[in-house]
Amino acid sequence: MTKTTTGSSRLTVILSWMIALICFVGGALYIWKMPSPDQEVIALQMKQQKNQKSRKSLTEKVKQEQAQRALPANYARQLVEQSEVLVKKNLEEQVKKFQTMAETMRRRKDDMLAKVEKRKLPWGAPADANDTSKARAIPRAGNPSDNASVEELYAVLRDYEAEIQQSHLAVSAAKQSLSKGQSFPEVYSSLKAGNSRMPSFDELIRMQSRDSEWATSAGSNASGGLEIKSTADLNNYRGLLGQATRQAGLAQSRLEGLFGAVRQAGNLGNGMGQGTGSPGNGGPGGNGSGNGNGTGMGMGGSGEVSASGGGKGTFSAYSGSKLSKEMVKAQALPGRRFSKDAERKGWLYINTWYMIGPWESFGREDFSIVHPPEVSIDFDAVYTDGQIGTGIAETDSDPLKVIGDEVQLDGTLRWKFMQSESMHNVPPVTTGHSTYYAYTELYFDEATTMLVAIGTDDSGRVWINGKDVWRDYGTSWYNIDEHIAPFQFRQGWNKVLVRLENGGGGPCGFSFLIIPQSK
């Protein structure tokens, strides 16, 4: 009995030590394999980065799918027609201006060539010294046909530009040959027209498509027969239309320079049409409604309007304070809704906007260069003709400082919802030589006359319900009361579009305030 008990105890001891040894080895392995706190942090960060990349990839995939959303054929044709309405009107008005300039330059050319032809030649001069046949043979541009397409109107403008430049060259040659007694053919052949010309419509297509193939179809109603089958095609086409209007505007500015004239004011064309969406609430002080995903047509217009400021490129002097700025800043409140029964009757400043930009302005304050928001408001649109380079994504609405991080610009532009913490609004990205647009809607429970106070840094242009209410030319400091005038707002939603120009590389912004007009 004793022997058996002793053997059992010895076996128990051996098993206990084996179990203890296994536990010790297992614990040691666990501690050795267990990650350190730093390793846990790194692993967590890597997991978060992987999740972020996954979410970003999914977001980009969704955006690409939305951008490539197919459009029914009839709907695509309708959208093309809507997109072209104001573009065609703008180009038609440009054609009329080019025709007037061409006729004026023809008269100048004919007068100068007649003087050359009547000139008495000195002994020994070449027999053909007064030969003006080549200058007389400059091709004349024709007139566009009825219901001409955007491509046809653009081609006519190019023809007029070429004729005007060649006629101006002939005038210059005639003046030089007469003043210096030189042979006209020699002088005329030695002079060359400038290289600045409107690119062809095909070149515009290549630029817009970035040299990739853009399919065409005989059944397409888009200019050039371009196929419009998806939202991406439509946005690309709208960018092409914007390129055409801007090239026409640049050509007009170049040609006006040949006459030595400064652009004069005239009448403004059509204004805002109807849209199917309104900016979203925007949080505190927004007081708006709608989801902000609608599209609207006909935001701007073409032509010129009387300007109270100086000419382009000049410093626009501030005419003096009209408001107590400190009092307005202390008492004004944000809002986009106005009711006659509201207890408060003071100033309201508009601080919720959809903004887009920058487009390149080349240092020119030229409102004849029309950008897409003046043609249509489409919050889903993506434009690819914006500025390329660097800018500052502002994080503060300070009117005197540019505060924010430097960002790279690849030319892609989208509408962005912006809400300022003060009455001064800044664009999404600040750069020099740039053009921006800001859009919002104001609600009135009944038709109301309000005083509107506008201030811009540098120059700007403002439409309310399609009416061009203000243009500010030249570089200027920001003041809240650069322009004050009454405006009759209609009952319901009222559309406001602001065009903002930044001539230099400093701060840029604007303010828009309203108050009931005193009776």
Task: Look at the chain and count its residues.
Answer: 519
- How far is 397 from 424, CA to CA, in rounded Å? 6
Identify whether residues 509 and 434 lie together within a single domain: yes
Question: In terms of residue numbers, what domain contains 187?
Answer: 73-258
Q: Which residues contact 496 (CB under 8 A, 6 or more apart)?
A: 350, 439, 440, 441, 442, 462, 463, 464, 512
What total of structural domains would you count in the chain?
Answer: 2
How large is the average pLDDT for residues 490-495?
93
Pairing of strands 404-410, 459-464: unpaired
State how far the Cα of 191 lies from the Cα of 214, in Å rounded to an integer.
39
Q: Is residue 34 one of the residues assigned to a domain?
A: no
Using an 8 Å Cβ cutoff, are 444 and 489 in contact? yes
Amino acid at 297: M
Between CA 236 and CA 244, with CA 241 as vertex, the angle to 5 degrees is 125
Answer for the pair 507, 456: CB distance below 8 angstroms, yes or no: no
Q: Are both 336 and 221 inside the same structural domain?
A: no
- Residue 297 in 3-state DSSP? strand
List of residues 6+ apart from 328 with CB closer than 8 A: 347, 423, 480, 513
Q: pLDDT averaged over the chain?
A: 77
Count Cβ atoms below 10 Å from residue 77 Cβ, excluding itself.
Answer: 16
Which of 147-166 are b and which e, b meaning 16 or more Cβ less than 10 Å from the residue's Cβ? ebbbbbbbbbbbbbbbbbbb
| Residue 487 included in any domain | yes
SS3 percent helix, strand, coil of the chain, rounded to 5, is 40, 20, 40
Higher pLDDT, 483 or 5: 483
Among 99-113, 215-229, 235-249, 260-274, name the one with the lowest average pLDDT.
260-274
Residues contacting 116, CB < 8 A, separation 6+: 130, 132, 174, 177, 178, 184
Cα 258 vs. chain centroid, distance in angstroms? 28
Residue 349 belongs to some domain of the structure: yes
Residue 430: CATH number of its domain: 2.60.120
Between 20-29, 334-343, 359-368, the lowest mean confidence (pLDDT) is in 359-368
Q: 482 and 379 in one domain? A: yes
* pLDDT grade for 211, boundaries at 50, 70 and 90: confident
Asked if the structure places residue 280 within a domain, the reply is: no
Answer yes or no: do 371 and 468 share one domain.
yes
Give 141-160 pLDDT, tens digit per residue: 999 998 899 999 999 999 99
Same domain? For 253 and 341 the reply is no
Residue at which a domain ends, from 258, 280, 311: 258
Report the alpha-carbon distance of residue 67 to residue 44 in Å, rounded.
34
SS3 call for 278: coil
Q: What is the pLDDT of residue 151?
A: 93
Instruction: List C-alpha distances in Å: 94 to 156, 176, 492.
Output: 10, 31, 35
Please tell me the distance from the alpha carbon of residue 296 to that of residue 234, in angstroms, as a whole number. 15
Q: Which of 216, 232, 258 is the last residue of a domain?
A: 258
Q: Which two tokens stand for residue 60?
A: 């980009």
C-alpha 113 chain-centroid distance: 44
Across the beta sheet with 333-334, what order do the strands follow?
Answer: 333-334, 348-349, 509-516, 448-457, 483-489
- Of 173 and 193, the structure prediction assigns the larger pLDDT to 173
Examine residue 469 and state whether it is found in any structural domain, yes or no.
yes
Q: Is the pLDDT of residue 1 over 50?
A: no
**Residue 495 pLDDT level (bands cut at 50, 70, 90):** very high
pLDDT of 255 reads 87
Instruction: Judge if 338 and 205 occupy the same domain.
Output: no
Tokens 């093309």 map to which residue? 80
In a domain, 494, yes or no: yes
Three-state SS string over 60-88 comes to HHHHHHHHCCECCHHHHHHHHHHHHHHHH
Q: Tell which residue, 248, 240, 245, has the closest CA to residue 224.
A: 240
The answer to whether residue 382 sits within a structural domain is yes
Do both 96 and 236 map to the same domain? Answer: yes
Centroid of chain to Cα 458: 16
- What's the CA gap between 188 and 80, in Å, rounded? 45
Name the DSSP letter for residue 378: E
Residue 25 corresponds to which tokens in the numbers above?
């080895």
Q: Which of 85-89, 136-140, 503-507 has the lowest mean pLDDT?
A: 503-507
Q: Taking residues 302-323, report their average pLDDT.
A: 38
pTM for this predicted structure: 0.51
Rounded to whole angstroms, the Cα distance separating 273 from 378 reads 13
In a domain, 130, yes or no: yes
Q: Do 81 and 225 reside in the same domain of the chain?
A: yes
Rounded to the nearest 5°, which phi and psi values hold at 122? -75, 165
Q: How many helices (H) and strands (E) does the chain have?
A: 10, 18
**Would you tell me how many other CB atoms lie within 10 Å of the CB of residue 445?**
13
Q: 237 and 358 in one domain?
A: no
Task: Report helix angle 201-208 to 150-180, nearest 10.
Answer: 120
Backbone angles phi, psi at 477, to 5 degrees: -75, 160
> Is residue 285's pLDDT more than 50?
no
Where among 240, 258, 276 does a domain terminate?
258
pLDDT tens for each residue of 38-91: 555 566 666 666 666 655 554 455 445 545 578 788 888 888 888 888 788 889
Q: CA–CA separation, 212 vs 205, rounded Å? A: 9
Residues in a beta bridge with 493: 443
Report d(CA 260, CA 179) in Å as an integer: 20
pLDDT of residue 417: 92
Ranges 151-165, 209-223, 396-410: which has the least confidence: 396-410
Same domain flag for 245 and 361? no
C-alpha torsion angle, residues 270, 276, 279, 280 (rounded to 10): 170
- 129 token code pair: 């010294």
At 87, the amino acid letter reads V
- The mean-pLDDT minimum among 187-201, 264-278, 371-385, 465-479 falls in 264-278
- Least confident among 119-128, 311-320, 373-382, 435-444: 311-320
C-alpha closest to that of 372 among 463, 460, 510, 246: 246
Backbone angles phi and psi of 83, in degrees to 5: -65, -25
Pair (329, 249) in one structural domain: no
CB 270 within 8 A of CB 89: yes
Q: Are residues 369 and 473 in the same domain?
A: yes
